[in-house]
Structures are given as structure tokens and as C-alpha cells.
Amino acid sequence: MSVVGIFGGTFDPIHRGHIEIARYVHRTLELDHVRFVLSAQPPHRRPTIASTADRAHMLELAIAGEPGFVADPREQQRRGPSYTIWTLRSMRGERPTQPLALIVGMDAFQSLNTWYCWEQILALCHLIVLPRPGWTSSDKHVDWYRDTISSDPSELDRASAGKVYACDAPLIDVSASAVRRKIQDGEDVSADLPEAVWGYIRKHGLYDYSKSIEHRNMQSEQLKDLALAAMDDMKGKDVRVMDVRELTDITDYMVVVSGSSDRHVKAIADKIVDTLREQNLRPLGVEGREHSNWVLLDFGDLVIHVMHPEARRFYDLEGLWSEQVKQMLLERRERHSE
């Protein structure tokens, strides 16, 4: 009879760290399955940012298709504070003899004596603790669980409850609070969240995502206007502004402008860089300045091509804006980050 893992949390939002830790524990300890229990009304924390319904939807999206992962809705269905002891009693009633193991981080473990009816927890389940580096059984919180420590994971399967096992899971450098802050600041969190969860947040404007987009759009508009003013000052010709926000997430605007000569191309590019630098805006990269028949200025949300007319006709960027230009930008930014 395999152990059932219980992984509780507010999941506000559920992120890559939650999923990877659960995968590791599930695989390494050969658990029967892991039950994700959403804390509807966490008694030890501030109210959640996203609603219970939104957090539940994100949880379902995050674990969809994950073998051995199950969303357990009982704390959403129960009124009042989401006390873990009530959840454990409910699960034990459904599984009188099956081993249950509550998965907790070291922070939660060290504050366990502040939980409601905490003394009864080990009578209902095992504890799988995800320790920090350097944690040992000689820590100051050892007294109440000294006789329950196990270094043998197979002991979890031989009893239904009562053991504390330290699982050496990898440390994942991501937190829900950091993810929320990045979303509010308009930063990219695609590497921190399951793709479906990130899509849900964008669609429903959670964590002030819609405001961050408005702020980002305002910034990119100001960036574009400053650059256009600099082009006008230097008598740039045939300015073409393309709003590509619906086509790609690489940039917001692509601008193509012509200079009458190689010297004019260089002068326009230098003027744009100097103008934006006065506003503490520096390009992610500049390419082609040494040749001056085509200078690329990458400001992130704004990409500018300053070109000699012959080069502009030959490369036809306006007509080719698609995979070729996107790939060029991606490769250039990868080189810049190395």
C-alpha cells in the first residue's frame, strides 16, 4: 500500500517550484499519488490576492496531464479557516490504514507548533520535510519529534503515520510573492509558471497584470515618440512605424528610417541613442554602426532599423517582418546575454 502525499498551500499562484518539488518527491519516494490541497482561508497568512476560484482554476491547469497529481477540493468546500488538522482527519476517515504524508517546507515545519491542534498531526500522517542546506536533527525544534525521525523512506510505507522524513529535494529559486511582484512590474514570468497558468493570469488580468500592460504600453509609446523626435531632428526620411504587438512578444514597435548616405545613417543612429540616453534609456544592443549602411538599435520594446535607401530596398524589412526578423532579434539578444 503506497504512501499518499499531501501538498497544501495557497498557490497564489501555483508556480514551477511547486510542480518540480512535487514531481521530485513523487518520483523519489515512489508515492501512490500527490494530492494538492488548496488552502481556501489560510489561518496563518494574510488574505490571498487571487480569489479561491481563480487559484483553483490555476491549480487544475498546472497539474493537468501530470501523472500521479490530483487536485483535492475539500478545503474549498469546507466553511471556515483551512486548518490542516481538519483536512488530515477527513482524509484519514477515507483511508483508515493507508499511509499519508504531509509535504512541508522547513519554514512551515519549524513553526508547526503554532498550528491548530499540531500535537495530533503525527497521529494522522507522516511528515516529509524539505530542508534547507545544513539542516540536521540537532536543530532546536528537535525535542517534540526526536523519536519519530527516519532516514529510511521505506518506513513511511510500513506505518500509516508517525514518522518525520527529511527529503533532500532540490532548491527551486522561485516564490509566489516574487512572481506576483514581477507581474506587477511588467516582467516576464513565463519561466516561473506553467504555460497554462501564465495564460490564465493574462486572460483574467490577475495580480494587476492589466495595469502592468498599460504601464508597459505607456513606456513603449514614450520610447517610440522620443526616437521619432530624434529622427525628425536629423531629417530622417521615409519613416515607417509598425505596431507588432499582435504578431510577437519580442518587441512592441519596429521602426524603419532611411538616411541619405552612410554618414547620415550613422548620424541618425547616434542621435537616437543620445536622445534616449538622456532619459536613462540605453539600448540592449547596437549592430552595424561600423558599416553605417544599416544600423540596428534594439531598445527591447522598440527596435529601430536606420538604413541606406539601397540597403532598405534590398532587404525589404517592411515586407519581411515575420519569422526572419524575429529570429534575427532572438539570436542577437541571445548573444548579448552570453
Residue 23 burial class via C-beta count within 10 angstroms: exposed 0-12, middle 13-18, buried 19 and up: middle
Confidence at residue 138, expressed as pLDDT on a 0 to 100 scale? 46
CA–CA separation, 295 and 198 (whole Å): 35
pLDDT, position 148: 87
E-assigned strand segments in 85-217: 100-105, 126-130, 149-150, 164-166
Give residue 11's pLDDT.
Answer: 96
Question: For the chain, what is the radius of gyration of the CA atoms?
Answer: 27
What lies within 8 Å, CB to CB, of 35 at 6+ separation is 4, 5, 6, 7, 70, 71, 72, 91
The full set of domains in the chain, from first to last, is 4-204 (3.40.50.620), 219-337 (3.30.460.10)
The per-residue pLDDT for 183 is: 86
Residue whose C-alpha is closest to residue 34's, from 9, 55, 3: 3
CA–CA separation, 44 and 118 (whole Å):
13
Q: Can you list the residues of the chain whose pLDDT is less than 70?
A: 1, 45, 132-144, 209-218, 246-250, 289, 291, 320-338
All three cell numbers of 258 = 532611411
Query: What one-character-per-residue DSSP string does 6-67 give?
Result: EEEE--TT--HHHHHHHHHHHHHTT-SEEEEEE-SS-TTSPPPSS-HHHHHHHHHHHHTT-T
pLDDT digits 0-9 by tens, 142-182: 566 777 888 899 999 999 999 999 998 888 888 898 999 88
Q: How many CB atoms lie within 10 A of CB 260?
A: 13
Residue type at 114?
T
Grid cell, residue 317, equals 524589412
Q: What phi, psi does 110 have (nearest 5°)? A: -75, -15
